[in-house]
A and B are shown apart, each in its own frame.
Chain A
């Protein structure tokens, strides 16, 4: 149990385009989802926290108009990188927490999405 998937696993896009990344909790209801980005050889940096049906809470320094987050259901959250530029190239990882049957509110991570902006 407690499986989180992400789609796509990798994406290459041209500068100026928008990219949508999906995060799904497959076997539990995720009341809260978190979005992270990770640069090579660095730790995970929290971008935003989203609760189902509410607006996301963004970390300081993260542009909410550039990184649009939608958490419309208890099993799906999306991150849209709008007008992507090369500096947005990174590894984006989501995590989900909720009642999974084994433990409550433990964060389980997705496999990540590698974004490369040309």
Chain B
């Protein structure tokens, strides 16, 4: 059974305090791993797609990396506007997608 586990469930940071969110996965045949940001009361917003181990993608203060078993979303010098829930999802070669439960990030000024 395909599984996606995100940790921690919640993360509180001070503005400027860098950290990482983890997404570990067990799937049969990974086609792609996706990161989304979700603000309260809104739909998820696509951030990155990663396809193979060793791949990295960057956007502003966010950097996503991928290994064979997990992905990390690194947040460098976060700002309060980075506060949101970050979702990880995997899609298999069979076309099945599975979402993790998310990590809720709070950045205090």
Partners in one complex: no
B: residues with CB less than 8 A from A are none
